[in-house]
Structure 1
């Protein structure tokens, strides 16, 4: 079967593309498996600093391929936590959030239903002007169940999310940015995402990973303050932290080790 996801790694940056352009990268069983496998590979990738996630062809991801999924059946116990906190379906979105390094989604064309949830798993979402978005599940009489609610909470305005989930109406990138689904808009989102990934890759990789752990932390103020101190104590006076200081003082590019 043709691969549904392609990965190229160069200079610490993984270029990950959903690769079913004839179906606007709609999610069939092979695409689910391909994304889960891609995340598993990236978890083990040596020297990884950042990930850019995009879709080939005319759109990022059109959501579920309902015909393929219906003929295949779910084949999954939705209540089983097979991927840490998540089930198999949630893992294709939640897995980007738990990946140790920052993930930047470059979104264009459409991001409907499951496609929007996958993009929402990224740390940053850069969209092309006019990109069409939808929390589309209600169209099929179901609810978002690919980690959307967990990923949107804290980013997306609650009343707006309720309206969009209840109605499944489409909205564009500009509205998506105003509501918190999209980080920023760019004419060439993939080029913008690559530039951001390169900037991140030029920072202390241990500090970047620590920053992502802190950003992912769901805890009260006391636990969060303690976690900040713990991460900082682990970074101070390490070779990469000293290199960051020296490179800035000497006005030269840093040379970090992983």
Structure 2
């Protein structure tokens, strides 16, 4: 792995909880090509890990992620930015999309702990998580329009599902900043937390303590909701519950609870 990539994101696993930390604090964890690659690498590394029951996604220093770094904008302005074709990762073909979409491919639930700034692409990275805990004074913005761009890291597909189509348009067409408190009211965040990292870690530990098969099946089912025909979603429920009932893991859970 390229040295810049290996330094951009830290990955640690303790007691079934993986902590993925954007680790470029001197730049407010701004996104550059190496950061995108590191996020994809970290997410991909967790896809097949059976020892991970939940994931916490956070940023080092004063911000979760301040968005695209200024050097990338400069490359757009002078025409030196080159888009390199990539192999698809799930439904995503572009590198920026993969840095967000990869978290939906991780079978374990992913919890983003957001503090400081989550602007533009940084906010879209947080949107890739299953749950977002946000500091009340955090600042979030779908900022791309202010740079003459559109949210191109899965944001246009995720936002309407979270906040409704009209609110998504208002946020994306203005680029206005919202506090963590407002983000929670809008549905942009799951809820606010005075210490989002501590609460995310506690939540992740609780989830990791449940049956891995059950939590992963729950994530799969909820990710289907509204995206597949109802009959397909209902059949998926039956397929998942059929695989769980009577399995050694489920039997062990029942015995513990009845003991």
TM range (shorter): over 0.9
Question: Partner of 1:254 in structure 2?
Answer: none
> What does the per-residue CA deviation read over 1:193-221, in whole Å, with 9 as the maximum and x for residues that have no partner?
00000110111100111101101112121
In the superposition, the TM-score normalised over structure 1's length comes to 0.92
Number of residue pairs matched?
248
> What does the per-residue CA deviation read over 1:236-255, in whole Å, with 9 as the maximum and x for residues that have no partner?
000111111111111xxxxx
Question: Partner of 1:134 in structure 2?
Answer: 141
Alignment partners' CA distance in 1, 2:50 and 2:120:
32
Deviation at 1:69, TM superposition (A): 5.5
Q: Secondary structure at the match of 1:155?
A: helix
Matched, 1:224 2:233: yes
Alignment partners' CA distance in 1, 2:142 and 2:61:
21
Alignment partners' CA distance in 1, 2:130 and 2:90:
19
Tell me if structure 2 keeps the 8 A contact 1:29–1:69: no
In the superposition, the TM-score normalised over structure 2's length comes to 0.92
Alignment partners' CA distance in 2, 1:142 and 1:175:
24
Deviation at 1:167, TM superposition (A): 0.9
Structural mapping, 1:55-74, within 5 Å: 55-68=59-72, 70-71=74-75, 73-74=81-82
Match 2:151 to one of 130, 136, 144: 144
Q: Secondary structure at the match of 1:52?
A: strand
Q: Secondary structure at the match of 2:122?
A: helix
> What does the per-residue CA deviation read over 1:216-236, in whole Å, with 9 as the maximum and x for residues that have no partner?
112121111111001000100
Question: Partner of 2:209 in structure 1?
Answer: 202
Tell me if structure 1 keeps the 8 A contact 2:52–2:108: yes
Question: Partner of 2:92 in structure 1?
Answer: 86
List structure 1 runs of 4+ shifted beyond 6 angstroms. Answer: none
Matched, 1:41 2:50: no
Structure 2 gaps of 5+ residues are: none
Q: Secondary structure at the match of 1:229?
A: helix
Structure 1 gaps of 5+ residues are: 251-258
Question: Partner of 1:22 in structure 2?
Answer: 26
Q: Secondary structure at the match of 1:242?
A: helix
Match 1:244 to one of 253, 256, 259: 253
Q: Which has the higher helix share?
A: 2
Deviation at 1:70, TM superposition (A): 4.0
Tell me if structure 2 keeps the 8 A contact 1:28–1:69: no
> What does the per-residue CA deviation read over 1:94-132, in whole Å, with 9 as the maximum and x for residues that have no partner?
111221110000000010000110001101000111100
